[in-house]
């Protein structure tokens, strides 16, 4: 009796398993969920910092476009920025664990026209107090605010009063040249003595609406003078300069000088005219020469003296456009000596060397 009951149980179990196996696999069965690592964003780019013209800290970073499996990212909700602030005072422990007391959130931008919402640069601004150290950690999260704790990026900024701007800026211009000099600052904005001057940042823009370009690349400019030779004559340029402190490993950028305007001036004279010829004609003495083909020619100046004179006198009050001139103010039987120069369109009116002198007798 017991044996029959045991066998009956086994038959029922086998039949039940067979029935379950025979059910259609697609009937109400969901596909396997995606692994979490395929959804979570990878690490952002290493954050960088600078200080804007109002003195606020600006943290800049680039959003990830890949997930933790290095595949294209499907979901990005935004970024968390954790912040800690500690006063630099006796007993401060720079190597102790950091307690982050504030969490900030930046939303990811909406998809662009190509459907790429994750590309691009993001910024965060903060107001800092002198004599404090600030710690930040940044991480990207998905649309459910999930993130991998191992993907945090960190940034530490020591902050103190910045330097005052450089003083007594002097600008001189030359031929494709702008020369700037200034007095180094010796005080901080709070009046204390400046002892950590590390150099300067120099910026230039073309015209009043141009984009500011940093001229000293990634390294501070060490000297209190700068020569800019990457400029064009006649173009208006604007410059601004700020001093840099290097304090506890942080580059603290001070306020800018007022904008400095400069216009390089062409100081190179054109080549002289050639083949000057003087002939006595009924109306006077006719001069002809070969014109100068330079693009910036404003005109020509004609000079004359007599045999008894030492200095040449200019006959043309303003430059004449054509390579020809008729001198009517001559006397019969007198010998005259001429030469010609060319003047360019530079504001300073560069004048060439003269042609070779030619001598002619005014005939009856």
253-290, pLDDT tens digit by residue?
999 999 999 999 999 999 999 999 999 999 999 999 99
**pLDDT by 10s per residue, the chain, length 364:** 444 555 555 545 555 545 544 444 444 444 445 557 778 999 999 999 999 988 999 999 999 989 999 998 888 999 999 999 999 999 899 999 999 999 999 999 877 666 665 668 999 999 999 999 999 999 999 999 999 999 999 999 999 999 999 999 999 999 999 999 999 999 999 999 998 899 999 999 999 999 999 999 889 999 999 999 999 999 999 999 999 999 999 999 999 999 999 999 999 999 999 999 999 999 999 999 999 998 899 999 999 999 999 999 999 999 999 999 999 999 999 999 999 999 999 988 999 999 999 999 998 8
In degrees rounded to 5, what are phi and psi of residue 88? -85, 100
Alpha carbons 216 and 291: distance in angstroms, whole number: 44
Superfamily of domain 36-159: Immunoglobulins (2.60.40.10)
What's the fold here for domain 167-262? Answer: Immunoglobulin-like (2.60.40)
In degrees rounded to 5, what are phi and psi of residue 3? -65, -40
> 305 with 314: CB under 8 angstroms?
no
Q: What is the pLDDT of residue 25?
A: 44
Structure tokens at 156: 């530490």
Which residue has tokens 């330097």? 163
Burial class of residue 244 (count of CB atoms within 10 Å of its CB; 0-12, 13-18, 19+): buried
> 140 with 42: CB under 8 angstroms?
yes
Q: What is the pLDDT of residue 26?
A: 44
Q: What is the pLDDT of residue 113?
A: 67
Q: What is the pLDDT of residue 347?
A: 87
Each domain of the chain, given as residue ranges in start order, spans 36-159, 167-262, 274-361
Q: What is the b/e burial string over 166-185, where b = at least 16 CB atoms within 10 angstroms of the residue's CB?
A: beebeeebeebbbbbebeeb
| Statement: the pTM of the whole predicted model exceeds 0.75 | no
Q: What is the pLDDT of residue 326?
A: 97
Q: Which CATH number fits domain 274-361: 1.10.3720.10, 3.40.50.720, 1.20.1250.20, 2.60.40.10?
A: 2.60.40.10
In degrees rounded to 5, what are phi and psi of residue 199? 140, -155
Alpha carbons 364 and 83: distance in angstroms, whole number: 99
State the Rg of the chain over Cα.
Answer: 40
Q: What is the b/e burial string over 96-131, where b = at least 16 CB atoms within 10 angstroms of the residue's CB?
A: eebeeeeeeebebeeeeeeeebbeeebebebebeee
Q: How many CA atoms does the CB half-sphere of 350 hold within 13 Å?
A: 17
Q: How many CB atoms lie within 10 A of CB 9?
A: 10
13-22, pLDDT tens digit by residue?
555 545 544 4
């Amino acid at each position: 009796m017991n044996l029959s009951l045991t066998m009956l149980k086994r038959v029922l179990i086998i039949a039940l398993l067979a029935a379950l196996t025979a059910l259609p696999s697609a009937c109400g069965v969901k596909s396997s969920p995606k692994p979490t690592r395929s959804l979570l964003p990878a690490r952002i780019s290493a954050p960088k910092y600078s200080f804007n013209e109002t003195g606020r800290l600006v943290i800049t970073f680039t959003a990830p476009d890949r997930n933790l499996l290095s595949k294209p990212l499907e979901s990005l909700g935004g970024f968390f920025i954790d912040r800690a602030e500690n006063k630099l005072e006796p007993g401060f422990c720079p190597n102790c664990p950091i307690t982050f007391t504030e969490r900030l959130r930046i939303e990811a931008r909406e998809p662009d026209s190509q459907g790429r919402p994750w590309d691009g640069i993001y910024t965060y601004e903060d107001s800092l107090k002198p004599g404090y150290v600030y710690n930040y950690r940044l991480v990207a999260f998905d649309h459910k605010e999930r993130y991998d704790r191992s993907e945090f990026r960190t940034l530490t900024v020591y902050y103190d009063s910045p330097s005052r701007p450089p003083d007594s800026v002097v600008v001189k211009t030359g031929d494709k040249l702008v020369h700037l000099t200034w007095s180094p600052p010796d005080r901080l904005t709070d009046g204390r003595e400046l002892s950590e001057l590390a150099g300067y940042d120099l910026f230039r823009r073309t015209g009043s609406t141009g984009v500011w370009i940093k001229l000293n690349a990634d390294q501070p400019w060490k000297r209190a003078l700068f020569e800019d030779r990457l400029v064009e004559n006649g173009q208006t340029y604007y410059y601004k300069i700020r001093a840099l402190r290097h304090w506890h490993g942080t580059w603290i950028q001070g306020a800018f000088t007022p904008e400095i305007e400069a216009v390089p001036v062409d100081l190179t004279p054109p080549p002289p005219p050639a083949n000057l010829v003087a002939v006595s004609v009924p109306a006077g003495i006719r001069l002809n020469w070969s014109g100068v083909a330079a693009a910036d020619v404003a005109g020509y100046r004609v000079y004359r003296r007599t045999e008894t004179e030492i200095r040449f006198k200019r006959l043309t009050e303003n430059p004449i456009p054509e390579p020809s001139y008729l001198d009517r103010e001559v006397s019969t039987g007198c010998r005259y000596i001429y030469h010609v120069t060319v003047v360019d369109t530079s504001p300073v009116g560069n004048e060439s060397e003269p042609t070779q002198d030619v001598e002619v007798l005014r005939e009856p």
